[in-house]
Amino acid sequence: MTGIEVGTVCVKTAGRKTGEKVIVLDLDKEKSFATVIGEKVKKKQCSFRHLIPLNKVVKVNKSISQKDIAGLLKE
């Protein structure tokens, strides 16, 4: 796991939403999974291997909505 922390903006590299930007909400380092949410991606778990971290970190909490995420990703 390199460069992934809560609030990191990432790009998904696998699955139906490949290429979509997401924000990390929570980490499970033991299982190598992150809980992510994006403008077009519902809150779900994603493997660290399927995420490319970008050089942007935003402040988020676990109860953030998809509507609020859209605004954060466009900044």
Q: What is the pLDDT of residue 62?
A: 86
Return the structure tokens found at 38: 């994006």
* Structural domain containing residue 48: 8-74
pLDDT of residue 2: 63
CA 38 – CA 41 distance, rounded (Å)? 5
Q: Which of 63, 54, 59, 57 is nearest to 35 (CA)?
A: 63
Tokens representing residue 67 in the block: 């509507």
Task: Note the pLDDT tens digit of each residue in 26-74.
Answer: 999 888 999 999 999 999 999 999 999 999 999 998 888 888 888 888 8
Burial 27-43 (b: 16+ CB within 10 A, else e): beeeeebbbbbbbebeb
pLDDT per position as a tens digit, 1-26: 467 999 999 999 999 999 999 999 99
41 found inside a domain: yes
Q: Is residue 1 part of a domain?
A: no
Tell me whether residue 2 is in a domain.
no
